Amino acid sequence: MPLSVAGSLLGAGFGQVFALLRETVNNVVSEARQFEPILKRLESTLDRLATTVTDIEQLNQLDNLPVEETRSLIEEMTRGRDLVQECLQIPRWNLYLRFKYSSKLTKLEEDIVRFCQVELQLYGARNGLEVRRIVSDMRQRMDSIRSVETPKVSFAVREPPDFIVGFDMPMKELKTLLLKEEVTLLLLTAPGGCGKTTMVQMLCQDEKIKGKFENNIFFVNVPKTPNVKDIVQNLLNYKNMQPEFQIQSDDDAIDQLSQLLNHITPNPILLILDDVGLGSKYLPEKFKFDLPNYKILVTSRTAFPSFKFIYHLKPLNDVDAMTLFRRSASLHDGSSCIPAEEVVKKIVKGCGGFPLVLQVIGASLRGEHEVVWKSRLMKWSNGQSFLGSDAKLLLGHLESSLEFLDDKVIIKECFTDLGSFPEDQRIPAAILIDMWAELYELDEDGIHAIAHLRELTTRNLASLVMAGKDASEANCYYNDDFVTLHDILRELAMHQSSKEPEEERSRLILNISGNNLPERWMKKKQKLINARLLSISTDESFSWSWSNIQAPKVEVLVLNFRSQNYTLPEFVEKMDELKVLIVTNYGFFHAEISNFQLLGSLSNFRRIRLEKVSISSLCKSLVPLKSLKKLSLFMCNIGKAFENCTIQLSNALPNLIEIHIDYCNDLLELPVGLCDIVLLKKLIITNCHKLSALYKGIGNLVNLEVLRFRSCTDLSELPESIRSLHKLSILDISDCLSISKLPKHIGELCNLKELNMKGCLRLRNSLPESIVELKQLKLVVCDEERAKLWEPIKEYLTKLKVEVAETDINLHWLSK
């Protein structure tokens, strides 16, 4: 760039330079193929931030702020514009330069997003009425689109797997058929495990499809019992639209959807309904509208005869099946322990060309001795196909992947437990840690549970999704992690659970639609349930009484529901062995729950986790839970409910040692009563963005060992009373944007070993003098700017390691 041009850009405003950078990226993204993924991501980020940048510019003018406040970022964006243009000159073969430029582009994206986030926080503290009005508008807009505060179903298409083989020709044929003018409703059909969803993900990455439908591709995972109201409500949320009236029925929902689609047209729209079951064959008809350029693509295991246009996805041919299998059976470093060709061919033939089966069987044999391969082959019957039209054959075939060594049988049990949760739902790792700590006596911190999930992921039996972590957290913080399960594998897990007669099963899984209960459950005299794990999933129309069930041996009870009012089953009162209760509301609105008093008689009850419920009803009927050790509240309405309890929290929860409060958006201040639970060892409050005040009574928690206030963005300070927490070993205030200083007497935390202050952007002044007294402090995690504050401290704390955390760019707060 000529010197005069660069100089003029440096004198320009933030918004002007941002616009020029955005224009440059838009022009270059289609030409610099070697940087296409990172440039597309940068382009998407800039497009999403454009409105926010305009608002920031307006606020700068209202507050008469000097350009110097944003000069460093202006300079970086100016250099970034040159960087983007230089990408065109980097050859594909030069891996070093490609890596170097990709890193710089990533840092540029991170800095721009972080600047906008911080500016929004800082503007919120200024006084001008017009400033406050604009900031309020900005926050409302961001709140409506960011999923950090209220995680919701995504209707954006996920990225396809990194390695795909055999779909080039089917992709071409499916795309040609979809783009025909007369095709408005198209069915993609194949047996389970053939790759229908992968095929759709590839289709949506195709340049021609993206060019035609742009940002109007909606991807809906259709559950076995779909709820039209929920689907439409989430579609409206995804497009940042509020319904004109409250959705009361399916007809209301369809009317609202019609208005949404009319709002988008005449722009082309593609609605994808993935995995429509046989019982939902009329669902696509409900979403049909006579609109121009509107198409529906349905995937299903059933070839519905009512569809005029159908594409049959065939299994992989022998060559492609062998390629995928070898890839799945090879070690991660690329080396191979695969035996003789004839053995492999027979196994691959038995997989019938199903990608899922090839991957699962290949992964299960990865690294095994040739003798194990031959033994497995003999069990499967030499050279015969294991797959057919009967789904039981598929499950039976997949079942062979559950052959574990004797010392790993527990992992098979863990896999089977995954069938206890509704389909197409993320399973929080925290739930599994609670369950398995009691069922299999795994460690409290979840290290072994995560190790088991990792092995299940390696075997392609599940997918563990772990949030970006600092090294210090790798083995101790899993609140943001979750597990997903392919529908076929979920069926396999449920199949494993149902082999024995109902009264003999170690786990019993009930999925109830409406009040359609098996006849045996309606009898007055029922057989005893001897299961250790009982999972009951109901929908919004369920209204039956559970009084007749007898399940005295249940240790873990999982209740999944979708209604706004829910009553704990009466038989809970007689579950003498109950240790863990998981209550999850999958409905759109928070639910009121009654009958909590039933828990008071349970002497072994140790853990409870509530998701998306209002706990005011809990506090009004609070009874002593003397054995309860851990309380977890996720996305719950808390408000001031703890202040109105019938008895003091310290008396109701005398032995509580761990509290987790996550994504509870109405938590404004730390409940006073919590500070009286003196046995508490872990207090973890995360992603509660409106939490702004902590009582000095927190100093009463003298047994506290772990204290986390991660991502509590309105929290401005820690009370000086924390100086009394002499057993505290971990303090986490990461991403607390409003904290500007550490407590003066923090040095009195004589056992503090780890301090995470990553993302504390307003913490810029010198650290308190008492910091040098933290003789046990071994690790501090922070960003580069905060790391400089620790430089003078290192000479006093010789064992201290200051780790600069990698910037984990988080765009969840932008619309998906």
pLDDT higher for 309 or 301?
Answer: 309
For residues 115 and 212, state if they share a domain: no
SS (H, E, C) 79-107: HHHHHHHHHHHCCCCCHHHHHHHHHHHHH
Q: How far is CA 330 from the centre of its chain?
A: 29
- The predicted model scores a pTM of 0.69
Confidence at 812, pLDDT banded by 50, 70, 90: very low
pLDDT for residue 728: 96
For residues 35 and 69, state if they share a domain: yes
For residues 675 and 812, state if they share a domain: yes
Q: Is the pLDDT of residue 225 over 90?
A: no
For residues 98 and 209, state if they share a domain: no
Number of domains in the chain: 3
Apex 348 CA angle, 344 and 351, nearest 5: 150
pLDDT higher for 802 or 302?
Answer: 802
Residue 552: inside a domain: no
For residues 108 and 195, state if they share a domain: no
pLDDT for residue 130: 46
- 193 conformational bin, left if phi > 0, alpha if psi -120 to 50, beta if neither: left
The residue written with tokens 């310290």 in the block is 650
The residue written with tokens 């309020």 in the block is 136
Residue 235: inside a domain: yes
Give tens-digit pLDDT for 565-576.
Answer: 888 888 888 899
Beta strands in 294-382 (DSSP E): 294-300, 309-312
Residue 581: inside a domain: no
Q: Is the pLDDT of residue 259 over 60?
A: yes
pLDDT for residue 776: 94
Q: Is the pLDDT of residue 751 over 70?
A: yes
DSSP-derived secondary structure letter, 145: H
Q: Is the pLDDT of residue 98 over 70?
A: no
Query: C-alpha distances in angstroms, 221 versus 160, 185, 235, 247, 588?
Result: 15, 17, 12, 21, 16
pLDDT for residue 554: 94
pLDDT for residue 6: 37
CATH code assigned at 716: 3.80.10.10
pLDDT for residue 708: 95
For residues 68 and 184, state if they share a domain: no
pLDDT for residue 144: 40
The residue written with tokens 């995928």 in the block is 324
Tell me which of 491-495, 716-720, 797-801 is least confident. Answer: 491-495
Residue 451: inside a domain: no
Is the dihedral angle over the CA atoms 256, 258, 264, 269 positive or is it negative? positive
Tell me which of 43-52, 287-296, 382-391 is least confident. Answer: 382-391
For residues 134 and 221, state if they share a domain: no
Residue 100: inside a domain: yes
At which of 312, 343, 368 does a domain end?
Answer: 312
pLDDT for residue 633: 94
Tell me which of 177-181, 230-234, 397-401 is least confident. Answer: 397-401
Q: Is the pLDDT of residue 526 over 90?
A: no
Q: Is the pLDDT of residue 326 over 80?
A: yes
- Average pLDDT value for the chain: 80
Three-state DSSP state, 264: helix
Tell me which of 275-284, 622-631, 742-751 is least confident. Answer: 275-284
For residues 299 and 216, state if they share a domain: yes
The mean per-residue pLDDT over the stretch 534-542 comes to 86
For the ranges 43-47, 325-329, 685-689, the maximum mean pLDDT occurs at 685-689
Domain that holds residue 265: 168-312
Selection from 664, 674, 672, 621 nearest residue 645 by Cα: 621
Three-state DSSP state, 585: strand
DSSP string for 38-68: HHHHHHHHHHHHHHHHHHHHHHHHHTT--GG
**How buried is residue 332: exposed, middle or buried, by Cβ count under 10 Å (0-12/13-18/19+)?**
exposed
CATH code assigned at 195: 3.40.50.300
Give tens-digit pLDDT for 168-180.
Answer: 999 999 999 999 9
CB of 362 within 8 A of CB of 325?
yes
pLDDT for residue 1: 41
pLDDT for residue 766: 87
pLDDT higher for 554 or 100?
Answer: 554
For residues 119 and 209, state if they share a domain: no
Confidence at 644, pLDDT banded by 50, 70, 90: low
Q: Is the pLDDT of residue 458 over 60?
A: yes
pLDDT for residue 282: 85
pLDDT for residue 397: 59
Residue 137: inside a domain: yes
pLDDT higher for 536 or 459?
Answer: 536
For residues 125 and 231, state if they share a domain: no
For 439, residues 6+ apart whose C-beta sits below 8 A from its C-beta are 413, 417, 532, 533, 555, 556
Three-state DSSP state, 198: helix
Q: How far is CA 271 from the centre of its chain?
A: 23
Selection from 214, 209, 213, 234 nearest residue 154 by Cα: 234
CB of 297 within 8 A of CB of 178?
yes
For residues 138 and 273, state if they share a domain: no
For 274, residues 6+ apart whose C-beta sits below 8 A from its C-beta are 196, 197, 200, 219, 220, 221, 222, 299
Apex 793 CA angle, 791 and 798, nearest 5: 100
Three-state DSSP state, 17: helix
Residue 770: inside a domain: yes
At which of 111, 145, 179 does a domain end?
Answer: 145
Q: Provide the percentage of residues in the chain whose pLDDT is more than 70.
A: 79
Tell me which of 201-205, 246-250, 588-592, 652-656 is least confident. Answer: 246-250
Residue 266: inside a domain: yes
Give tens-digit pLDDT for 100-157.
Answer: 777 678 778 777 776 666 555 554 444 444 444 544 554 444 444 333 333 333 466 7
CA terminus-to-terminus distance, the chain? 35
The mean per-residue pLDDT over the stretch 455-482 comes to 73
At which of 262, 279, 312 does a domain end?
Answer: 312
Tell me which of 57-61, 364-368, 421-425 is least confident. Answer: 57-61
pLDDT for residue 56: 67
The mean per-residue pLDDT over the stretch 782-792 comes to 91
Give tens-digit pLDDT for 755-773.
Answer: 999 989 899 888 999 999 9
CB of 683 within 8 A of CB of 631?
no
CB of 295 within 8 A of CB of 183?
yes
Peptide bond before residue 654 is cis, with ω within 30 degrees of 0: no
Going across the sheet that includes 463-465, the strands are 427-428, 482-484, 463-465
For residues 215 and 123, state if they share a domain: no
